[in-house]
A and B are shown apart, each in its own frame.
Chain A
Amino acid sequence: MLHLSCHTGGRPIWSDALCAFLADDFNKEMQCVGAANGQYALDKIIEESVIAGINAAKLSGNENHDFSSNVNKELDILKPKVETYLASKAQAIFHIPHAKATFMAPKQFVDFQLDVTAAGIELAVAEGFESIEHVKRYTALGFGTDQGKISNINGMAIVAKKLKQSIAETGTTIFRPNYTPVTFDAIAGRNVNSFFDVERYTPLHREHIKLGALFEDVGQWKRPWYYPDDNETMNEAVARECLAVRSGVGLLDASTLGKIDIQGKDAREFLNRVYTNAWSKLPVGRCRYGLMCGEDGMVFDDGVTACLAENHFIMTTTTGGAAHVYQWLEIWHQTEWPELDVYFTTVTDQWATMTISGPKARFLLAKMTDIDLNPESFKFMDWREADVVGVPSRIFRISFTGEQSYEINVPANYAVVVWEKLLEYGQEFELTPYGTGTMHVLRAEKGFIIVGQDTDGSVTPADLNMGWAVAKNKPFSFIGQRGMNREDCLREDRKQLVGLKTKHPNQVLPEGAQIILQPNQPIPMKMVGHVTSSYFSAALGHSIAMAVVKNGINKLGDSVYLPLDNGETVEANICSPIFYDPEGAKQNV
């Protein structure tokens, strides 16, 4: 237990009489008994323990009890009858002598875990390592999982002998936790099985289970992945869900997206500084997409922010990025721009978000609310307050699918009733619930990025060909402006986001596949990019992929090659990443 005194700052001292290290008096209130005090005889251990116990009781504030006068009485009561033996004194044999010098003699292992030999230790000394801490690091003595329990004393004695000094002068290394092994289950506690990690559920979780959804982990959230019919495979289910959205109307639980309420007269100015685009003129009732960059100019989150009132906004973030974005806003506000009057409040859990998307979305919504849905007045990128089947809601006309799309936000306490009514009124339109699997395909058909999938922290807005989302003339700089304009970020041959179409339309490239310009190169080949997203598009009837390719934006139409791990090399053409409805007409009707 000597290590415990070291953990608190003590340095052990050597006792020649005991051939052992003992705790020093660094910790004035620490009491060592038994083996920790070099005491091995049972009767003595009990005696020491009683005295130490009485002292401890006094130190812990029980001064009223007069223990000390009663030591002998206590001892008499407590002391069991113990037979005592005479034991001979420990004899020190640290290093077995040999006729030859140590380095010539057969190997004498000292540390059995790390194969440190007596010769190795002597070599360390010969090399000038005289401090025991240096010898430890030169030889690795005591670095094993036993933390020197078997080897240290012998090793230190060999050092002492070689240096012609005493073990007391040589000293010992000290110990770090956990010197005594701790079992994994003691560390894990109850954080096992279903408690291993937090599972976060949306208010609609049970509704998804009822519909037979399989779930995907997105951060700590469980999101519906796809809703298979009977014996459908994932690919079949996703294809069916995709076609339903493109031809009719689909329903997605988007409640997991981060939502941050922003209030204050400087909210706009704050948005100007944390987003790359401009927010000064966004009117009440409108929404805008924004990219967020780090100081290095690299995209780290994106989302739509809506102007709820002149001094009031609601920001959405990616599902996995919500906590980080919230902290980011608070840090910049608190440390850099405390003069801006703005407050942030997390409302991710307050609102349940149900997205209906597809050419029939408006017909469905019209059954459930009385507000004016005329596309001339409730336009794409507008939001409205509405009563939806009696529940006060905010409806955002924004689209991650490229279809006519309405995101219905209701207080989470009323999520299920709105969901049930959606399914009920949706029957007439064959409303199809869809999950993240389908969401990924639909957004890729439109070339919409997923931060963290199509970006990896080294991608600027220009690399994404999203220069349109960067304002050039904001009066105050914004986070990332300087970074993204560094010389290296303006190179033409940076990896840029493009689309890929395989020569064989049914071939779906593996995500992560490397891209080369010339096939039949010797290995190592010159890699110019990789596939970031890849799916089969049921709506288009061919595979689609998004990729980053060096100078890709200037290479539209060029052929590239993708050598796969099975030896096959796939040919593909670089194209725009917007595969479906490039004019954006469908989301705007």
Chain B
Amino acid sequence: MYNCYQQTPSDLSIKKQLSMYHISTEIKASNAHYLLEEVEYGHLNIRVGRENRCFTQALHDVTGLQLPKTSLQVVQNDEFRLYWISPDEFLLLVAVGREFEIEKKIRANIKNTDSANHYAILNVSSAQAFLKLSGSRAQSIIKKSTAYDIHPSNLPVGKAVTTTFAKTQVILCRTKEKDLNTTSNSEEYSIIVRRSFSDYVWRWIVDAGKRE
């Protein structure tokens, strides 16, 4: 009923270029104060209503995760991370190369094959980039880029917010809290951005990272 297939070549020697492949080799995104890195994951976009027990059970059987209980929440275990994106949209991050296997397993685990069982899963691993921003200047870079209140009381670890970032849109998370033993800002953030905005976001962060 659905076209679900392996999008990764079986020949692992075939050259793969992630979203930031070119820009990261052209412009260095780090200095003494911050570090920006692209991290590769398998990305599966999920559209499903929370009330679809059949799907949520299959998801749990395969990943061990329940859908986030509240909006903006991120749930995770050792193998998977699941972001709330909108009331009926979620993003499942999996280890690189497992996206086809996981998609197939979830679809196969759905016991109720009644066509009324409604959901969508889609491999979007090429469509978006996962960026990790760390260093003492990370907080100031994020503050320059979004109007969203990133104070730890409003954006704690475990919360993911889809918001504006400069002139584009990202999924923003705090991934590491400040180390209270140091005076410097030592948080870490993750930013998920659509591929076609890669160069723009990379260059923007480099610009923002040049000064405090």
Contacts and interface: CB of A to CB of B under 8 A. Distances in A.
A binds B: yes
A263 B119 CA distance: 8
B196 A348 contact: yes
B125 interface: yes
B71 interface: no
B128 A349 contact: yes
A83 to B, nearest CB: 40
A222 to B, nearest CB: 10
Contacts of B167: 191, 195, 197-198
Interface string B111-130: 00001101110111111100
Contacts of A415: 17
B6 A392 contact: yes
Contact of A411 (B10, B22, B125, B166): B125
Interface in B1-58: 1-3, 5-11, 14-19, 22, 45, 47
A308 B3 contact: yes
Interface residues of A, number: 45
Interface in A268-313: 308-312
A261 interface: yes
A345 B199 contact: no
Q: Which of B7, B14, B207 has the most CB of A within 10 A?
A: B7
A343 interface: yes
Contact of A413 (B125, B144, B194): B125
A559 to B, nearest CB: 47
A416 B21 CA distance: 11
B128 A411 contact: no
Contact of A343 (B10, B119, B144): B119
A527 to B, nearest CB: 40
Interface string A333-372: 0000000010111111111100000000000000000000
A387 to B, nearest CB: 8
B14 A414 contact: yes
Contacts of A198: 167-168, 197, 200
Given A205-B22, A391-B9, A392-B6, A312 B118 contact: no
B165 to A, nearest CB: 11
Nearest to B167: A198
A390 B14 contact: yes
Contacts of B136: none
Nearest to B122: A345
Contacts of B144: 190
B195 interface: yes
A84 interface: no
Given A197-B167, A343-B47, A413 B196 contact: no
A195 B127 contact: no
A221 interface: yes
Contacts of A195: 166-167, 200, 203-204, 207
B198 interface: yes
A417 interface: yes
B208 interface: yes
A107 interface: no
A343 B204 contact: no
Q: Which of A190, A345, A390, A413 has the most CB of B within 10 A?
A: A413
B15 A417 contact: yes
B94 to A, nearest CB: 15
Given A221-B196, A414-B9, A203 B17 contact: yes
B14 A391 contact: yes
Contacts of A205: 22, 199
A470 interface: no
Given A345-B120, A392-B7, A311 B2 contact: yes
Leading 9 A-B pairs by shortest Cβ distance = A308-B3, A350-B127, A343-B120, A263-B120, A343-B47, A412-B126, A200-B196, A349-B127, A341-B118
Interface of B: 1-3, 5-11, 14-19, 22, 45, 47, 88, 115-116, 118-120, 122-128, 144, 166-168, 194-200, 203-204, 207-208
Given A341-B118, A390-B10, 12 more contacts: A194-B203, A197-B167, A263-B2, A264-B120, A343-B88, A346-B127, A350-B123, A385-B3, A390-B14, A414-B16, A416-B17, A417-B14
24 contacts: A191-B166, A195-B204, A198-B168, A203-B17, A203-B195, A261-B120, A263-B122, A343-B47, A348-B127, A348-B196, A349-B126, A349-B128, A349-B194, A352-B126, A385-B3, A390-B10, A390-B11, A390-B14, A391-B9, A411-B7, A412-B19, A413-B126, A414-B126, A417-B17
